[in-house]
Amino acid sequence: MENVHVLTRQPDNSGDYLPYGQLYSDQNEVSQTHALVTQLQKTLELTKLINMFSVEASRLVQFAGLQFHSTEGVIEMTGSKPEGKNYAFDLVADGERLGQLIYFSQNLTHYAKQKLAKLHTVLVYPLRNALLFSRVKKLATKDALTGLNNRSMFDDSLYRKLERSRRHHRSFGLMLLDLDNFKQVNDSHGHQIGDQVLIDFANILTDCVRGTDTVFRFGGDEFAILIDDDNFDVSHILANRIKKRVHNHQLLKTHGVTTSIGFSLSNAKDIPCSIFERADKALYAAKKDGRDCCKTL
């Protein structure tokens, strides 16, 4: 049977009203708080944490959606809907602002806000730990300059991609790219301009790929894309799209920067070094053939 709020209401000390089903006895409140603490300590994943918390918060108030906004982005509870008014609560732990928790609800009474604020004190320390974990994980897997996945993440992703490819008998593509004339940009105009070229090129790659593809930066001017498709034609379409964007980009055009591309399709016998070696040879062939082109192998 679905949970149904009793329509009869009783006032709290402030004169606000809540359904009886939303009122906690002191004993139940202590018990539920201890249970919530235990649950929140079981994960360092932000999404899981917000979902666990939303279950307990929904015992106190009715809301259609719940979001947590921080420097790590926006995390939503499963099934969150931005319906009704939004009520924002700043979350602070030991003087450090963690972010903002936003409820979407038709109405939150003063009494409900007090109850939620009390519940937030249980959330803030597990939440701070989860935020720290997320930041450390990003440092380990993300390129600091461009925000792309780094070489360590590429190695892990390529291995997992090959395993899935063997299980499902479906190939995928590996594209390696580097920038032509990039060294001259650094030598002539300094690393600040060079860094901007790398950032802009990274943005071009992320704009050109599909949601199922993944972009990486190895370091320097070397990049890679794992393409979730078993068709050579898809790689050529993507390569031409990237080259066109590079040719039309003002900063890259001004400094004569283009891109050379090597591509290979996986096969059933591949291991990480074999498919990488083919794509790398294709990239070398593109460089040897005059640069600003794509070769497959």
The superfamily CATH assigns to domain 151-296 is Reverse transcriptase/Diguanylate cyclase domain (3.30.70.270)
Residues of the chain with CATH 3.30.450.40: 9-141
- Please tell me which residue, 197 or 6, carries the higher pLDDT value: 197
Nearest one of 176, 175, 193 to 184, comparing CA atoms: 193
What residues are annotated to the active site?
221
Q: How confident is the model at residue 42 (pLDDT cuts 50, 70, 90)?
A: confident
Instruction: Cite the residue boundaries of each domain of the chain with CATH code 3.30.70.270.
Output: 151-296
CB 18 within 8 A of CB 9: yes
Residues 226, 165: contact at Cβ < 8 Å?
no
- Overall fold of domain 9-141: Beta-Lactamase (3.30.450)
**pTM for the full model?**
0.64
Average pLDDT, rounded, for the chain:
88
75-118 residue pLDDT tens: 999 999 999 999 999 999 999 999 999 999 999 999 999 999 99
Which is more confidently placed, 138 or 51?
Answer: 51
